[in-house]
Amino acid sequence: MEVDLFSTVRLGCIEMSNRVVMAPLTRNRVAEGGVPQQMNVTYYEQRASAGLIVTEATPISPMAHGYPGLPGIYTDEQVAGWRKVTDAVHAKGGKIVIQLWHVGRISHPSLLPNQVLPVAPSAIRPAGHAVTVEGLQEYVVPRALAVTELPAIVKDYVHAAQCAMRAGFDGVEIHAANGYLLDQFLRDGSNVRTDAYGGSVENRARLLLEVTQAVVDAIGAEKTGVRLSPVNPFNDMKDSHPQAIFNFVATQLNGFNLAYLHVVEGGIHGGGEAAPFDFAAFRKLYHGAYMANLAYDKARGNAAIASGHADCVAYGVPFIANPDLVARLKADAPLNEADSTTFYGGNAHGYTDYPFLSF
């Protein structure tokens, strides 16, 4: 039988009706307190025909926030709000996992409890501006985390994963990509520590592996995915030898028997040129289910699956504008154009009002 985007696949314990994944997409539209509201329920329900939905990145604690209007997954009210989302997606036959997020240095005191400094592996200010309620403000120099603080951050990931199970999610995705906290520990452009969490590739990977182990222990490997972006320069990220650190991470993640590994295969969100990287070699090192992400269309997606490079393919912007993306791809139907001015914040316009295909 031919294997393509529209064939079934199993990731861990998640049985998918197709291999078209809705990538995590920050939309900044939740209610006060980081609680998903009816508009969010409608948005995800509309896209339930995806083989799997990965939610927008969702902070695991009050200190994990870096933008206005984000949901959370650490209070009872947030769990109740997300439960309405998962119930709606499941009622349509869909599957949904939540992306667990700590932004690290990509924040601002105005977004954090008691106006404290953002935390990071090292006290290195990223270039660029934080998005705050008052508008764009320059990033500040973050506070370097003490080794003694790291177990509490691991516990925050575990608590968020347990909250996700209470909210009815099919699994979680640990966000270790795109210049946020776990990625900041991985890459030597943001991590200049000289203790057990800095220096060697083994040390820089330590926090991600500790978080992964703790989440797997809490909810099961078959419900746990990890996202990486080996060369995405977004959020002022760089590494002197990305192939070495990420090849090491891939081999170490083999030991967990994860539901999947989700990989951003280049640079996204602007931020400059991505460094050279051999994704084919990296892919060969990882033995589990692999989710590919970055500028895939139908033809490239089918080719990646047919060749064995990917088990499924994540699509981002096309899902913003096409709630019925799977049907459109299958029918080779034209796609709605996404309106980038409505990506972040706002109301239902540009969120739940994109038209479905009419036959």
Contact yes or no for 213/257 (Cβ under 8 A): no
Q: How many CB atoms lie within 10 A of CB 101?
A: 34
Select which of 43, 180, 260, 290 is catalytic. Answer: 180
How many degrees, rounded to 5, is the angle at CA 172 between CA 171 and CA 177?
150
Query: How many other β-carbons are positioned within 10 Å of the β-carbon of residue 280?
Result: 9
Q: What are phi and psi of 134, to 5 degrees?
A: -85, 0
Would you call 2 exposed, middle or buried from its count of C-beta atoms within 10 A (0-12, 13-18, 19+)? exposed
Q: Under a CB-based contact definition with an 8 Å cutoff, are residues 51 and 301 in contact?
A: no
Positive or negative: CA dihedral 9, 11, 13, 18: negative
Single-letter residue type at 59? P
151 close to 158: Cβ distance less than 8 angstroms: no
- Residue 98 to residue 76: CA distance in whole angstroms: 16
Terminal CA-CA length for the chain: 28
Annotation marks residue 139 as catalytic: no
What DSSP string describes 174-200? Answer: EEE-TTSHHHHHHSTTT----STTSSS
Residue keyed to tokens 């900041």: 184
- DSSP 8-state secondary structure symbol assigned to residue 266: S
**Angstrom distances, CA of residue 121 to CA of 104, 173, 187, 242:** 8, 21, 10, 18
Active site (catalytic) residues:
180
